[in-house]
């Protein structure tokens, strides 16, 4: 059994298309489908009318991505829990293929697939774990000026061969398969990551516990990328990003590094503000 979880935040148009493609290409008997309406005000009436198998959970407050997912994770019964962004489109039975791979790889705790842009081109969806230097440079927005700096090339795995399946540090959270046994061992997503880096943290926790994270090159889905974020002002997104990176640094690199990011917040705020002027959304 596969349990899918989608967090809806002002994305009902995308959510409807995703769920439609999900049921068009998968056997509904083997699916458990949850949609969390994360206090965005979107009406779920059409979704419930068209897809009565979907279980809608209405959150009274915006819990962020991790918090929204956790609401549904607690209700799932599947052997595999797959977090699916609203802007994913299925062109085949990708989740059933992913389930098959996970069944035959019992030491893989987290599985990801190759994600394509809507035009079919390859999307970057595999990274190494972030380190203080690349994240510091990121918050200074140096990636826009010096994209080929060595720290960025390492973190973003420039030159990664997306045609070959591989064990990796992290896969994108847009389509993120969690094995039930892993969930029982390391428990829920960390809700202190309101948005971004919750899946990075989860992959790190999984690998620290001895599980593999696997990218499956022969399974794919299309991903619009950033559907929810397109409707949030850049200055607000920058604030959430800084908070998540700071939390990650404290958690995985210790208090000294975390405090360095904390005292640098005024500098990061300035570069984030400049970014919001260049690109308001």
pLDDT at 237: 85
Same domain, 168 and 281: no
pLDDT at 280: 54
pLDDT at 277: 72
Same domain, 32 and 153: no
What is the spatial distance between Cα 247 and Cα 202, in angstroms, rounded to a whole number?
13
Same domain, 121 and 237: no
Same domain, 107 and 8: yes
Residue among 156, 24, 4 at smallest CA distance from 85: 4
Query: Which residues neighbour 58 within 8 Å (Cβ) at sequence distance 6 or greater?
Result: 37, 44
How long, in residues, is the chain?
A: 281
Token pair of 110, please?
């987290």
Low-confidence ranges of the chain (pLDDT < 70): 227-231, 278-281
Same domain, 36 and 80: yes
pLDDT at 238: 87
pLDDT at 184: 98
Domain of 21 in residue numbering reads as: 1-125+162-221
pLDDT at 81: 98
pLDDT tens column, 56-92: 999 999 999 999 999 999 999 999 999 999 999 999 9
């Amino acid at each position: 059994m596969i349990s899918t979880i989608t967090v809806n935040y002002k994305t009902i148009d995308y959510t409807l298309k995703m769920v439609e493609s999900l049921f068009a290409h998968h056997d509904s008997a083997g699916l458990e489908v949850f949609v969390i309406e994360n206090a965005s005000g979107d009406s779920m009436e059409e979704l419930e009318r068209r897809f009565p198998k979907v279980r809608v959970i209405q959150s009274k407050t915006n819990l962020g991505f991790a918090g929204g997912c956790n609401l549904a994770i607690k209700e799932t019964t599947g052997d595999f829990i797959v977090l699916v962004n609203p802007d994913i489109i299925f062109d085949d039975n990708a989740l059933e293929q992913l389930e098959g791979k996970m069944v035959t790889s019992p030491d893989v705790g987290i599985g990801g697939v190759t994600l394509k842009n809507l035009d079919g081109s390859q999307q970057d969806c595999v990274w190494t774990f972030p380190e203080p230097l690349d994240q510091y440079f990121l918050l200074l927005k140096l990636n826009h000026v010096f994209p080929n700096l060595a720290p960025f090339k390492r973190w973003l795995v420039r030159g990664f061969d997306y045609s070959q399946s591989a064990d990796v540090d992290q896969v994108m959270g847009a389509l993120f398969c969690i094995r039930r046994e892993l969930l029982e061992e390391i428990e829920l997503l960390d809700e202190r990551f309101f948005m971004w880096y919750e899946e990075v943290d989860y992959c790190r926790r999984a690998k620290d516990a001895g599980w593999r994270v696997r990218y499956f090159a022969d399974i794919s889905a299309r991903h619009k990328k950033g559907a929810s974020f397109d409707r949030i002002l850049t200055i607000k997104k920058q604030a959430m990003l800084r908070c998540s990176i700071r939390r990650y640094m404290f958690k995985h690199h210790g208090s000294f590094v975390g405090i360095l990011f904390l005292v640098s917040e005024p500098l990061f705020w300035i570069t984030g503000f400049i970014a919001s002027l260049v690109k308001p959304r």
